[in-house]
Amino acid sequence: MKESKKEKLKEFHRSNILTVAKKLFIENGIAHTTMDDIAKSADYSKSTLYVYFKSKDEIYNNIIYENMLLLRHALEDAARNSDNVKDCFFTICNAHVSFQEDNPLFFESMLNGTMNKSDDELLYEKMLELNNAINKIITDFLLDGIQKKQVRPDIDIVQTAFTLWAAICGLILVSHNKKSYIQYMNVDRKSFLEYGFTTLLNSIIL
């Protein structure tokens, strides 16, 4: 169905507000950014801002959703362009790394998953669908590996997929938040992540 001019205008204003808010969240931090700040920077009145978003939390949750979409597309591309299990796994891992480096603030928030269904039921359901889509990419990677006799057939597919995703993201966050300790071990971040990812891969391959 073709969008009406009214719907296009609404989407334009929502997108503009989200772009401005994202910039402010990155520059000033979430806690130190107010609806007044967003309205002023976006060149809207505060009352106009509330026409499109009922709160700062709703704005923030929509930004998280947009970032989750970007991550899903990056992972789909990674999985699609890899020929074997090892290459596919490291491409998926490195797609997460690149995404975190580009979106450090939102990467961590995405993992925390603090949004409640009561906050915005429609957006909550869309986020849940995206989580399932991201998990399916890893699930399909495991199933393909089993079919190619490169991944252990005795694993629980669903639990392993989620465990791998959690471990990949955890390693990335630790390597970002504990840089000084990693340096204390005389290891750079890249080497630390490669070792961690290899350890995860070795736990599932034949």
pLDDT digits (tens, 9 = 90+) for 16-30: 999 999 999 999 999
CA–CA gap between residue 90 and residue 93 (Å, rounded): 5
Return the percentage of the chain with pLDDT > 70, whole number.
94
Residue 1 has pLDDT above 60, yes or no: no
b/e code 18-32 from CB counts within 10 Å (16+ = b): bebbbebbeeeebee
Band of pLDDT at residue 113, cut at 50, 70 and 90: low
Token output for 68: 């989750």
Delimit the CATH 1.10.357.10 region(s) of the chain: 55-202
* Residue 205: strand, helix, or coil: strand
CA–CA gap between residue 136 and residue 2 (Å, rounded): 30
CATH topology of domain 55-202: Tetracycline Repressor; domain 2 (1.10.357)
Delimit the CATH 1.10.10.60 region(s) of the chain: 1-53
* Residue 151: strand, helix, or coil: strand
Token output for 89: 């796994």
Mean pLDDT across the stretch 162-166?
A: 94
CATH 1.10.10.60 fits 1-53, yes or no: yes
Which pLDDT score, from 0 to 100, does residue 104 have? 86
pTM confidence score:
0.84
CB count in 10 Å sphere of residue 33: 20
pLDDT tens column, 80-107: 867 788 999 999 999 999 999 988 888 8
